[in-house]
Amino acid sequence: ALTGITVLDEPSMVHAAEAVARFGPRYVLLKGPDIAADAPDLLWTEDRYTFLRAERIRTRQTHGSGCAFSAAIAAGLARGLPLLDAVRAAKDFVTEAIRRAPGLGSGRGPLNLNWRPSRSSRQ
C-alpha cells in the first residue's frame, strides 16, 4: 500500500522493499504474499536482502501472529542477537506457535504463544 506495488512473487517483494527503503529506513521486513507455498518473508538491509522461508500452515488460527512476530524480533534483539538471527528465530517461533494453535473459536483464532522450544534447540 505504501508503494503501490502489487506483491505477487519474490521479484516484486524485492522491488517493494527497495521502494519502501527509499523512504529512509535502514532495514525493511516484508511479509510474503499469501499465494506463495513456502511463506517467504524478505529482510532488506542497506547492503543485501535475505529471503526467510517456512512451511505455510493452512489454518485460520493466526490471530496475533503479526504482533507476536514483531515482539519476538524485539526480544531477540534485546538478547543481543544480530538482526538477521533475531528475525529468523522470530519466524521459527511464530511458525511453530501457529502449528500448535489450540483451535479456539469459529473465526480467526489465536496461535499458541505458550509453547517453548526444547532445551536442546535453544541457543
Q: What pLDDT score does 121 carry?
A: 53
d(CA 41, CA 30): 6
What's the pTM?
A: 0.86
12-51: pLDDT as tens digits: 999 999 999 999 999 999 988 776 678 889 999 987 999 9
Task: Give the pLDDT band of residue 104 (cuts 50, 70, 90).
Answer: confident
- Output the average pLDDT for the chain: 89
